């Protein structure tokens, strides 16, 4: 930490820094708790999405022979629209919607299940995109949580105790200096009285 200067100016500055950190600590602790809770919620959502995707893949595998007939040009992924949100002061992007480009096709030229197949594909792709986005959100929230935890630990275990100890040392030094000056004034006063008598 910084070197301590044993004077009133430094004492005032250290008091100011201590007050700032003591005021910021509860805010940081609540931010850390909010990020931790959000991280747990996202992990649960990712697990649920994995289960849904597994169920959809089972649906796919049940119709595996039929999928061989499905032409890949009918459905194309076009783009994803995101919405910016904040979770405990962390900026994240959330999937608003996924846009697909559907090629027109004749319902009479292709089997009847194609419409269902297209909808199923859309759901799976949408879910996978949302899952990937949730993983990225989880990464950014975990990173912010780690940084916040580091800051909380720095304040709690290093800076606040250092500033409190520095304040005590400076106060003791200033008191000792004051006592010494008073004692030396008394000695000088007694010598002056002894010389005048």
All structural domains of the chain with their residue ranges = 8-189
Lowest mean pLDDT among 83-87, 118-122, 155-159: 118-122
Q: Looking at the domain covering 8-189, what would its CATH class be?
A: mainly alpha
DSSP lists the bridge partners of residue 90 as: 87
Q: For the chain, what is the mean pLDDT?
A: 90
Q: Tens digit of pLDDT for each residue in 125-159? A: 999 999 999 999 999 999 999 999 999 999 999 99
Across 8-28, average pLDDT = 95
Asked if 191 contacts 28 with a C-beta cutoff of 8 angstroms, the reply is: no
The pLDDT assigned to 1 comes to 67
Token pair for residue 73? Answer: 């040009």
């Amino acid at each position: 930490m910084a070197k301590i200067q044993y004077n009133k100016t430094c004492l005032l500055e250290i008091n100011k820094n201590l007050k700032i950190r003591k005021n910021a600590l509860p805010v940081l602790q609540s931010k850390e708790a909010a990020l931790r809770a959000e991280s747990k919620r996202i992990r649960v959502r990712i697990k649920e999405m994995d289960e849904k995707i597994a169920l959809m893949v089972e649906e796919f595998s049940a119709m595996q022979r039929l999928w061989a007939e499905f032409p890949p040009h009918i459905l194309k992924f076009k783009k994803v629209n995101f919405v910016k949100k904040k979770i405990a002061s962390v900026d994240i992007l959330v999937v608003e919607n996924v846009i697909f480009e559907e090629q027109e096709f004749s319902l009479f030229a292709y089997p009847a299940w194609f419409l269902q197949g297209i909808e199923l594909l859309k759901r799976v792709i949408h879910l996978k995109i949302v899952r990937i986005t949730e993983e990225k959100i989880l990464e950014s929230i975990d990173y912010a949580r780690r940084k916040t935890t580091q800051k909380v630990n720095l304040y709690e275990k290093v800076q606040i105790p250092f500033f409190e100890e520095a304040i005590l040392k400076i106060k003791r030094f200033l008191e000792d200096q004051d006592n010494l000056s008073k004692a030396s004034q008394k000695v000088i006063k007694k010598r002056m009285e002894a010389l005048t008598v």
